[in-house]
């Protein structure tokens, strides 16, 4: 939760300072406003026109201690049970008489201060501490609190008279430890909450002796102080609960969250589940009680100035982000802005290295520093980095302002983005070679095998699609779209495949790339078949065929005929499908493409099965198997074996059908093609059922099919397979 708004100090009487005060301190030492340190014993703000320190010291009232300064928790505090348990585990007294020190770190607005206060309250309820001291370190203000200022405030809070406080930081630190040690000997145990630290140097003088406790909040992970807890965003349901509690705190009759929970979730997600953003949004909704949550959600979601909408006049998310950015060294600040050039949700170290143009060692160091500052975070996958959505918006705005102010900066950022796009393009094209048939060439050595290529593509899928989209109608966008098409079909990301192949087509047409336009039409048609949009697929293949005919590209024309035959077969236009496959076979033979010819024979066999010409279909599939073996295309051969099994089943030659099906399954598993493994298992189960094999075996095969489909992300096919399992089970009861 974000920090509670700090109260203004009240008025109080001044008393004259002593000469010792004037000569001992100098200019600003000790001039600590109450709403920064919250020590609880100041009588009022400075008055008069004299030296601030002298005037300020005159305000201190001679109270002995101020050890009960914890503010009440806001009513919307929620969703931090695990974090609170961690802190209490650190703060609990032990038998070793060691100080309990915890560091609570996180990005701006994530609720560190409120959680620290909650930990203080919970610890006091357990009677673990006899008092709590609060001190604000102003770590991200233009002038952070100096150690001597902080120690002065803490000593006064513990009842040390002003005239007894020594002038130097080292002396004050020694006195601070002595005071704590003396209290420990009398059975006291104090908790110091140091809020908003920006460096270890600010905190180290505050480390307590003995069994006292220190809880530090910071936007940075401060090493070497104590146990670290990085505070994450709220879960969506907790974010909604916070929003509801904040609205009801202002008006118990406010039921907007209850009346429209979907809109409330949209608001929470638009706020990035960041407590400060949610609190600001709640304040804006309180100020406009007639505004529906859906309207606020639309404004936050669709507005280009989302950060501008997170400002309630007293709190501003942009201001909090500005403070963090201003504290970064120039290189780190520049990288923070550059990261907004990545279009996807996360980024790898290798991609950042391409973006910066620096060595990997330098890049890793800068990324680590940004993570320490909680402006980015390490992903669950090692070597990858994420940025909160609102921080990404902020970084993009900062990058735009930076480049608008300087032509050299704009050129440098353009070059950085070009390097990033080239990195994605070069690597994606290398990965794509591992999804092609052996006849199309040797796979690129950048990846050892298809599994390694899949791992990279899985990690970068969202980045690759987003980059292609943001590139627009350019040749690079077309190349990137071509490079990921096979992979998307392999992983059954069919809607992504349709979108990316349509993008490739648009880019080719826009850039006048006639040769690749035909390929884009053909690829789009193949994907449209996968989503069962067969009429559109036929149009796409026919368009591609015409373009290839115009350029006398016989081999690729054969491919369009082959794909066209598949679409026609799905629409039960079987005679046309047979003609298309035969035409493809002839053209492949003319061009000497044995692998393509194998595919045409295979598709021809499927069309022949549809018209129950099973003997001819068997010949076609056997020919396909032989040709695939010659070209070394084991994946294509496996598909041909599966289709051969269904042709044998059509003639009730069940032993041969089962043998062919099992061979196909074995080869497809070796190829790690989960989707087609599921298809082959389904065909085998159908064959076993027709052969009246024991139902237990049939059920096991259908279960294996469902599992294979689930691995392939084919949820509907998996559901269908499990329904078959249930049917077999019902029939055996």
State pLDDT tens for residues 348-395: 999 999 999 999 999 999 999 999 999 999 998 889 999 999 999 999
pLDDT at 514: 85
Q: How far apart are CA 352 and CA 376, in angstroms?
A: 13
First to last CA, the chain: 57
Contacts of 97 by beta carbon, 8 Å cutoff, 6+ apart = 210, 211
In 119-163, DSSP assigns E strands to: 131-136
Q: What is the mean pLDDT of residues 704-713?
A: 94
Q: Identify which has the larger pLDDT, 523 or 59.
A: 523
- Which range has the worst mean pLDDT, 95-99, 297-301, 503-507? 95-99
For residue 194, which of 157, 168, 237, 160 has the smallest C-alpha distance? 157
Report whether 166 contacts 20 (CB < 8 A): no
Q: What is the mean pLDDT of residues 504-518?
A: 94
Q: Is the model's pLDDT at 63 over the cut of 80?
A: no
pLDDT at 53: 27
Q: What Cα–Cα distance (Å) separates residue 80 from each residue in 76, 234, 240, 480?
A: 11, 8, 14, 43
Q: How far apart are CA 627 and CA 602, in angstroms?
A: 10
Contacts of 326 by beta carbon, 8 Å cutoff, 6+ apart = 140
In 310-432, DSSP assigns E strands to: 346-348, 377-378, 384-386
Q: Is the model's pLDDT at 660 over the cut of 70?
A: yes
Q: Identify which has the larger pLDDT, 24 or 92.
A: 92
Q: What is the mean pLDDT of residues 414-425?
A: 97
Q: Is the model's pLDDT at 120 over the cut of 80?
A: yes
Q: What Cα–Cα distance (Å) separates residue 334 from each residue in 8, 344, 376?
A: 37, 19, 14
Per-residue model confidence as pLDDT tens digits over 424-464: 999 999 999 999 988 888 999 999 999 999 999 999 999 99
Q: What is the mean pLDDT of residues 667-688?
A: 95
Q: What is the mean pLDDT of residues 100-128?
A: 94
Q: Is the model's pLDDT at 726 over the cut of 70?
A: yes
- The model's confidence at residue 519, banded by pLDDT at 50, 70 and 90, is very high
Q: Is the model's pLDDT at 50 over the cut of 60?
A: no
Give me the sheet containing 377-378, strands edge to edge: 346-348, 384-386, 377-378
pLDDT at 167: 92
Q: Is the model's pLDDT at 303 over the cut of 70?
A: no
Q: Is the model's pLDDT at 14 over the cut of 80?
A: no
Report whether 187 contacts 86 (CB < 8 A): no
Q: Identify which has the larger pLDDT, 193 or 731.
A: 193
Q: Identify which has the larger pLDDT, 366 or 143.
A: 366
**What DSSP letter does each residue of 397-462 carry, written as one string?**
HHHHHHHHT-HHHHHHHHHHHHHHHHHHHHHHHHHHGGGS-GGG-PPPTTSSSHHHHHHHHHHHHH
pLDDT at 306: 82
> Reduced to 3 states, what is the DSSP secondary structure of residue 66?
coil
Q: Is the model's pLDDT at 45 over the cut of 90?
A: no
- Which range has the worst mean pLDDT, 87-101, 141-155, 428-442, 559-573? 87-101
CA dihedral sign of residues 28, 34, 36, 38: positive
- The model's confidence at residue 94, banded by pLDDT at 50, 70 and 90, is confident
pLDDT at 23: 28
Q: What tokens does 96 get?
A: 């070793």
Which residues sit opposite 92 in a β-bridge?
Answer: none
In 198-313, DSSP assigns E strands to: 213-218, 227-230
pLDDT at 441: 86
For residue 435, which of 491, 385, 367 has the smallest C-alpha distance? 491
- The model's confidence at residue 60, banded by pLDDT at 50, 70 and 90, is very low
Report the phi/psi class of residue 606: left, alpha or beta, with left for phi > 0 and alpha for psi in -120 to 50.
alpha
Contacts of 278 by beta carbon, 8 Å cutoff, 6+ apart = 234, 239, 242, 243, 246, 268, 271
- The model's confidence at residue 521, banded by pLDDT at 50, 70 and 90, is very high
Q: How far apart are CA 201 and CA 180, in angstroms?
A: 20
Q: Which position has the token pair 């700090």?
A: 6
Going by the DSSP 8-state scheme, the letter that residue 717 receives in this structure is H
Q: What tokens does 106 get?
A: 């996180």
Going by the DSSP 8-state scheme, the letter that residue 288 receives in this structure is S
Q: What is the mean pLDDT of residues 263-271?
A: 95
Q: What is the mean pLDDT of residues 705-721?
A: 94
Q: How far apart are CA 726 and CA 631, in angstroms?
A: 41
Segment holding 520, helix H or strand E = helix 514-530
Q: Is the model's pLDDT at 485 over the cut of 80?
A: yes
For residue 110, which of 277, 262, 240 has the smallest C-alpha distance? 277
Q: What tokens does 351 get?
A: 């991609």
> Reduced to 3 states, what is the DSSP secondary structure of residue 205?
helix
Q: Is the model's pLDDT at 181 over the cut of 90?
A: yes
Tell me the whole-structure pTM to 2 decimals.
0.81
Q: How far apart are CA 278 and CA 269, in angstroms?
A: 10
Per-residue model confidence as pLDDT tens digits over 212-263: 999 999 999 998 999 999 999 999 999 999 999 999 999 999 999 999 999 9
Report whether 154 contacts 134 (CB < 8 A): no
For residue 157, which of 138, 130, 178, 131 has the smallest C-alpha distance? 131
Q: How far apart are CA 273 and CA 225, in angstroms?
A: 29
The percent of residues above 70 in pLDDT, for the chain, comes to: 90
Q: Is the model's pLDDT at 9 over the cut of 60?
A: no
Q: What Cα–Cα distance (Å) separates residue 197 from each residue in 40, 143, 216, 702?
A: 20, 12, 7, 60
Q: Is the model's pLDDT at 584 over the cut of 90?
A: yes
Q: How far apart are CA 437 and CA 233, in angstroms?
A: 46
Segment holding 135, helix H or strand E = strand 131-136
Residue 546 φ then ψ, to 5° = -60, -45
- The model's confidence at residue 65, banded by pLDDT at 50, 70 and 90, is low
Report whether 457 contacts 431 (CB < 8 A): yes
Q: Is the model's pLDDT at 11 over the cut of 50?
A: no
Report the phi/psi class of residue 127: left, alpha or beta, with left for phi > 0 and alpha for psi in -120 to 50.
left
pLDDT at 22: 31
pLDDT at 54: 28
Segment holding 197, helix H or strand E = strand 190-197
> Reduced to 3 states, what is the DSSP secondary structure of residue 190?
strand
pLDDT at 649: 97
Beta strand 227-230 pairing with 100-105? parallel
- The model's confidence at residue 304, banded by pLDDT at 50, 70 and 90, is low
Q: Is the model's pLDDT at 153 over the cut of 50?
A: yes
- The model's confidence at residue 1, banded by pLDDT at 50, 70 and 90, is very low
Burial class of residue 466 in the structure, from the number of CB atoms within 10 Å of its CB (0-12 exposed, 13-18 middle, 19+ buried): middle
pLDDT at 66: 62
Q: How far apart are CA 518 and CA 526, in angstroms?
A: 13
For residue 665, which of 639, 689, 644 has the smallest C-alpha distance? 639
């Amino acid at each position: 939760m974000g920090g509670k708004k700090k109260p203004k100090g009240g008025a109080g009487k001044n008393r004259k300072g002593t000469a010792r005060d004037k000569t001992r301190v100098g200019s600003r030492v000790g001039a600590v406003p109450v709403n920064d340190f919250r020590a609880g014993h100041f009588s009022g703000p400075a008055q008069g026109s004299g030296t601030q320190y002298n005037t300020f010291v005159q305000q201190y009232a001679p109270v002995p201690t101020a050890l009960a300064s914890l503010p009440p928790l806001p009513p919307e505090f929620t969703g931090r049970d695990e974090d609170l348990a961690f802190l209490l585990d650190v703060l609990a007294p032990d038998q070793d008489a060691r100080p309990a020190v915890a560091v609570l770190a996180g990005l701006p607005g994530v609720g560190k201060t409120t959680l620290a206060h909650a930990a203080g309250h919970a610890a006091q309820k357990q009677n673990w501490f006899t008092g709590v001291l609060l001190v604000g370190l102003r770590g991200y203000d233009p002038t952070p609190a100096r150690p001597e200022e902080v120690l002065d405030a803490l000593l006064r809070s513990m009842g040390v008279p002003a005239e007894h406080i020594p002038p130097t930081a080292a002396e004050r630190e020694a006195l601070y430890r002595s005071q704590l040690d003396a209290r420990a000997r009398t059975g006291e145990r104090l908790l110091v909450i140091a809020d908003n630290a920006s460096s270890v140097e600010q905190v180290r003088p505050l480390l307590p002796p003995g069994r006292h406790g220190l809880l530090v909040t910071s936007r940075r992970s401060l090493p070497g102080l104590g146990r670290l807890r990085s505070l994450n965003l709220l879960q969506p349901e907790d974010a909604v609960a916070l929003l509801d509690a904040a609205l009801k705190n202002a008006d118990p009759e406010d039921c907007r969250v209850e009346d429209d929970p979907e809109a409330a979730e949209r608001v929470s997600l638009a706020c990035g589940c960041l407590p400060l953003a949610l609190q600001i949004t709640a304040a804006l909704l309180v100020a406009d009680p007639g505004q529906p949550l859906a309207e606020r959600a639309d404004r936050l979601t669709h507005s280009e100035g989302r950060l501008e909408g997170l400002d309630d006049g007293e709190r501003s998310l942009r201001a909090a982000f500005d403070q963090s950015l201003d504290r970064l060294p120039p290189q780190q600040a520049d990288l923070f802005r550059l990261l907004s050039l990545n279009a996807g949700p996360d980024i790898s170290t290798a991609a950042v290295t391409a973006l910066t143009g620096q060595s990997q060692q330098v890049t890793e160091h800068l990324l680590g520093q940004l993570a320490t500052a909680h402006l980015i975070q390490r992903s669950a996958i090692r070597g990858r980095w994420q940025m909160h959505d609102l921080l990404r918006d902020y970084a993009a705005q900062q990058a735009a302002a930076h480049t608008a102010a300087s032509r050299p900066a704009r050129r440098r950022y353009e070059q950085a983005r070009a390097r990033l796009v080239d990195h994605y393009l070069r690597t994606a094209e290398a990965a794509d070679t591992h999804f092609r048939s052996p006849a199309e060439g040797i796979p690129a050595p950048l990846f050892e095998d298809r599994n390694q290529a899949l791992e990279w593509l899985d990690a970068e899928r969202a980045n690759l699609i987003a980059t292609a989209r943001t590139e627009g109608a350019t040749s690079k966008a077309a190349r990137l779209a071509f490079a990921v098409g096979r992979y998307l079909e392999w992983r059954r990301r069919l809607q992504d495949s349709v979108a990316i192949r349509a993008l490739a087509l648009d880019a080719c047409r826009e850039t006048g790339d006639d040769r690749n336009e035909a390929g884009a039409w053909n690829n789009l048609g193949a994907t449209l078949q996968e989503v069962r949009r067969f009429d559109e697929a036929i149009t796409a293949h026919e368009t591609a065929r015409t373009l290839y005919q115009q350029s006398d590209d016989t081999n690729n024309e054969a491919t369009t005929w082959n794909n066209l035959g598949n679409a026609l077969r799905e629409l039960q236009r079987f005679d046309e499908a047979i003609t298309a496959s035969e035409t493809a076979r002839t053209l492949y033979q003319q061009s000497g493409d044995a692998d393509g010819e194998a595919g045409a024979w295979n598709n021809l066999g499927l069309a022949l099965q549809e018209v129950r010409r099973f003997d001819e279909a068997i010949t076609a599939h056997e020919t396909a198997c032989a040709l695939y073996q010659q070209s070394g295309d084991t994946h294509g051969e496996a598909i041909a074996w599966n289709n051969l099994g269904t042709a044998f089943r059509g003639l009730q030659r069940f032993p041969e059908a089962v043998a062919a099906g099992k061979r196909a399954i074995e080869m497809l598993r070796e190829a790690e093609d989960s989707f087609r493994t599921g298809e082959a298992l389904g065909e085998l189960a159908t064959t076993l059922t027709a052969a009246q094999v024991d139902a237990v075996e049939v059920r096991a095969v259908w279960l294996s099919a469902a599992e294979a489909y689930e691995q392939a992300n084919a949820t509907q096919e998996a559901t269908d397979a499990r329904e078959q399992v249930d049917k077999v089970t019902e029939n055996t009861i």
